[in-house]
Every structure is written in structure tokens, then in C-alpha cells.
């Protein structure tokens, strides 16, 4: 099997047709909401997936991902319709990460150590800021989409790629309204210094001030607390050959989190720092199983293949 070196975004649609898209701005923050037109005649409560992109990418590139996730969920419903009526509809929201896409201010801040000595600070700030943006969306999205209270958004699911996977992990720690998450090729915030420290050393830098400022240490290296993860449904997907954000850098944190049986850490062979179509399928299956299905029958897709943790 050939090695997947980088994400081919065009393949993430999984061949599903385009879905409806609504452009929305919340006081300057541009959002794209997918799947609204398809549920306009329904009165079911809504589950909302918020997906965040990777460093150096933008939400334009994520459109096939949105198309693939929603298309695959619809396919799952058609192939294995529930015995009871569906309990919820689903939509998906994209937004630009800070200093990316239309929010770009300085491209140097998105570079690694070879071009950007504040790489660690910038990564930490983008992760924390990305979480703040998602919480902001959760606060206000329903008011803008349904100003007369026509529909209720009852569940929030976080997913994201690379930097977006890091944002997803931090949301699962910090945002109690996020009860379901599928981080892709990302790691918990407390793992950040392990792989970015290794990057600094590889670049010939000392992982100490000013590369790693004391004030930043107080933000990243807080005492570990697994309690916020309790009861949350987490599927973390990784490339087995990923050396940029290696799964191994998160093992210590995974072991402290995995006391809850509803957390699965999974690696895919022959994949480097990239998202495969199979990972998109698993995002859809996870959301369909935990959030949308009124009856639970097991997860054969998640018990096969390679696991890590």
C-alpha cells in the first residue's frame, strides 16, 4: 500500500455530492454552515459539528471534508435506517483559524522554527484562540440561524485537522458543551511541549527562553486533570508514520485520559501527517453512533485495524 504523505483534500468528499452552504458573519467572524437546506422541513433538534482546519490551511480547503462527513452520515442512515424515527438532524460549521485565510495578518507567524522563532508561542496562541472562537460560535450560532427560536441546537461536536485537532483536544478539556470530539492528527495541549520541544532541538535551538518563555510555561504546563474528559466520547485518529505531530508524543496524556472506555486512540498504517478518506468515514461513523442514532449496536469499524495509546 502506498504511503500517504499529505492530505489530498479533494478525496475527503468521499465522492458525495455537494451539500447546501450558508454564509454567515457573527460580528466579523465568517462562518460557513453546511446542511441547513436539507433539514429545512424538519423540526427535530440539531447536532452541530464544528470543524477547524490545520496550520497553513483555510476553510476553503475544508469544504470537501464537510461534504464527506455529512454525505457519509446520510449514507449511513440510508444503509442502516434506525428502527425508530431519527432523533436529531445534523449540520456542520467551518471557520477560519486565527491568522489564516481571510484572517491572515502575518504569514511568518504560521511558519516553523526555521523561519519563526516564536513558533511555540504562536502555536499555543492559535490553539487557545481557536478554542475561544469555537466557544463564541456555540454562544451565538443558534441566535443567528434561528432568531425566532424555530430550532434548537442540542449537541455540539468538535473535530479538526492538525492544528484543528489540537484545538479539538483543548475544547474537550476546556469546553463543557463539547461532549463529543474527533481530533485528527492532533494531540492534547499538554503534549505540545514534547513535539515542539523536539522540533526546536532538531532545528539547533535551545528549548528555553526566549524560545520557551516562562510565562508560556505557566499556561501549557498546568497540573493535569482528567476529570473534564470524563463521560466524553472521543475518537483520536493518527497517522502511524506521522513524525510532525507523532502519536508517541501524546501517549503519556492518552494513558491518563483513557480510564474512560468511550475514548479510542487509533492509528492508521502507511499514513504520515495526513488525513485519509478512511478517517473522514470514521468521523461520520462516530457522530452517527454516539450523537444521532437512537439505538446502539456496536462499532465494528473501530475495533478493526491498528490501535495505539
Contacts of 201 (CB under 8 A, 6+ apart): 207
CA quadruple 99, 105, 110, 113: dihedral sign: negative
Strand ranges inside the chain, DSSP E: 21-26, 29-34, 46-52, 89-95, 153-161, 178-184, 233-239, 263-268, 306-307
188-236: pLDDT as tens digits: 999 999 999 999 999 999 999 999 999 999 999 988 888 899 889 999 9
CATH number, domain 9-189+225-307: 3.40.50.1820
| Residue 172 and residue 234 in contact, taking contact as beta carbons nearer than 8 Å | yes
For the stretch 79-124, pLDDT in tens is: 876 666 668 999 999 999 999 999 999 999 999 999 999 999 999 9
The domain segmentation of the chain, as residue ranges, is: 9-189+225-307
This prediction's pTM: 0.94
Classify each residue of 96-122 as buried b or exposed e, where b means 16 or more C-beta atoms within 10 Å of its C-beta: bbbbbbebeeeeebbbbbeebbbbbbb
Helix (H) or strand (E) holding 192: helix 192-202
Tens digits of per-residue pLDDT, 24-62?
Answer: 999 999 999 999 999 999 999 999 999 999 999 999 999
Q: What is the pLDDT of residues 57-72, one digit of tens each?
A: 999 999 999 999 999 9
Amino acid at each position: 500500500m502506498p504511503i500517504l504523505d499529505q492530505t489530498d483534500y479533494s478525496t475527503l468528499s468521499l465522492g458525495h455530492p455537494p451539500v447546501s452552504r450558508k454564509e454567515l458573519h457573527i460580528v466579523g467572524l465568517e462562518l460557513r454552515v453546511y446542511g441547513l437546506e436539507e433539514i429545512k422541513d424538519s423540526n427535530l433538534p440539531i447536532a452541530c459539528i464544528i470543524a477547524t482546519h490545520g496550520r497553513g490551511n483555510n476553510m476553503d480547503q475544508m469544504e470537501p471534508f464537510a461534504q464527506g462527513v455529512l454525505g457519509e452520515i446520510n449514507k449511513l442512515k440510508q444503509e442502516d435506517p434506525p428502527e425508530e424515527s431519527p432523533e436529531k438532524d445534523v449540520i456542520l460549521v467551518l471557520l477560519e483559524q486565527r491568522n489564516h485565510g481571510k484572517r491572515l495578518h502575518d504569514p511568518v507567524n504560521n511558519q516553523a522554527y526555521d523561519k519563526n522563532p516564536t513558533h511555540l508561542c504562536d502555536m499555543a496562541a492559535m490553539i487557545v484562540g481557536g478554542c475561544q472562537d469555537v466557544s463564541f460560535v456555540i454562544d451565538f450560532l443558534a441566535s443567528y440561524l434561528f432568531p425566532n427560536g424555530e430550532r434548537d441546537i442540542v449537541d455540539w461536536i468538535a473535530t479538526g485537522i492538525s492544528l484543528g485537532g489540537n484545538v479539538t483536544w483543548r475544547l474537550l478539556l476546556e469546553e463543557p458543551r463539547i461532549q463529543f470530539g474527533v481530533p485528527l492528527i492532533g494531540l492534547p495541549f499538554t503534549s505540545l511541549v514534547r513535539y515542539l520541544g523536539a522540533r526546536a532541538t532538531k532545528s539547533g535551538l535551545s528549548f528555553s527562553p526566549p524560545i520557551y518563555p516562562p510565562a508560556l510555561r505557566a499556561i501549557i504546563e498546568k497540573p493535569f486533570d482528567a476529570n473534564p474528559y470524563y463521560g466524553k466520547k472521543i475518537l483520536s485518529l493518527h497517522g502511524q508514520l506521522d513524525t510532525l505531530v507523532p502519536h508517541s508524543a501524546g501517549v503519556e496524556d492518552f494513558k491518563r485520559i483513557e480510564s474512560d472506555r468511550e475514548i479510542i486512540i487509533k492509528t492508521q498504517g502507511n499514513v504520515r501527517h495526513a488525513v485519509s478518506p478512511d478517517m473522514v468515514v470514521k468521523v461520520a461513523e462516530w457522530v452517527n453512533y454516539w450523537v444521532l442514532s437512537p439505538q446502539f449496536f456496536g462499532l465494528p469499524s473501530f475495533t478493526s485495524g491498528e490501535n495505539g495509546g
